[in-house]
Amino acid sequence: MNTKSERNSNFEILRILTMFFIIGHHFSIHGGIPTSGMSNFNYFWYNFLINGGKIGVLVFMLISGYFLSASKKYKSSKALGLFLQVLIYANIMNLIFTIITGNCEISHKAIGCLVIPMGSKCWPFITQYFIILLLSPLLNKVINFITKKQYKNFLIVFGALLVVGPTFSTLHIHNDFLTCLFMYLIGGYIRRFNVLIPVKSAKGIFYFLAFYTLITKLNCVLIKNNLSYRSEEHTSELQSHVRIS
């Protein structure tokens, strides 16, 4: 089988999984599902879908880094097109919602979301992706210039600062934008140095889902028994998603 076609099929599978995860995440967050009195089984699936949205975003950024880092010419139309799409869809959906419900929120935040969607907190991921898209010409030059050893060392240090640093020290540098940027750079590394994962797509999906299921179950048990440091923050975090997603 041709390596290129096999790789493209792998990315297509990733895209499908990403789509399901993100749809499930938004359904759980915005579906008005009450968590009080929820059975353990339903609570597990609730968290499975919510956290899956975050994974979907990371995979999306990895795929974006893989393909966009190969672009030799920057097209400003991509960034402009993204801005116009968000602007148009945001206003159309707001109009439909206003007509159906009869509610029309008038505030600085609401107006900002409709007029300048990329500069508001209403669509944080779109804003982060838009910024990375603007930075992509500079990022791609770095990706295609540095050596493999330099690139690998940079990813190790960057990843350690994002994951290990906040976990085992007082560092507080983790945020969603840096995580998206990190995944973009990983995608660029995979493309430039033709990194092959020695696992077939079917097995890879099975291993991932099994591991993710185990982690989700463990997280649910810890939260239910107030053993997780996120137990008190879990409800407020979900509410914040409702406000800014």
Q: Residue 2: pLDDT above 70?
A: no
Q: Mind listing the pLDDT tens digit for each residue in 21-45?
A: 888 877 777 667 776 777 777 888 8
Where is pLDDT greater, at 2 or 21?
Answer: 21
pLDDT score recorded for residue 229:
44
Q: Is 226 left (phi over 0), alpha (psi -120 to 50) or beta?
A: left
Mean pLDDT to the nearest integer, 58-73: 86
CA 78 to chain centre: 19
Instruction: Of 182, 232, 156, give the one whose Cα is nearest residue 58.
Output: 182
Would the CA dihedral through 219, 60, 2, 193 be positive or negative?
Answer: negative
Q: Mind listing the pLDDT tens digit for each residue in 96-112?
A: 777 776 666 666 666 66
Q: Residue 207: pLDDT above 70?
A: yes
Mean pLDDT to the nearest integer, 68-74: 81
Supply the pTM of this predicted model: 0.73
pLDDT score recorded for residue 119:
64
Start-to-end C-alpha separation, the chain: 42
pLDDT score recorded for residue 199:
59
pLDDT score recorded for residue 183:
92
Mean pLDDT to the nearest integer, 201-212: 75
Q: Residue 150: pLDDT above 90?
A: yes
Question: For a pLDDT cut of 90, what percent of the chain falls above it?
Answer: 15
Q: Mind listing the pLDDT tens digit for each residue in 126-147?
A: 888 888 988 999 999 999 999 9
Instruction: Cite the DSSP H helix spans in the chain.
Output: 3-30, 40-68, 76-101, 108-115, 124-143, 148-159, 165-168, 176-192, 201-224, 234-244
pLDDT score recorded for residue 111:
67
Whether 86 and 123 have beta carbons less than 8 Å apart is answered as yes
Mean pLDDT to the nearest integer, 194-211: 73
Instruction: Of 111, 116, 114, 138, give the one whose Cα is nearest residue 127.
Output: 116
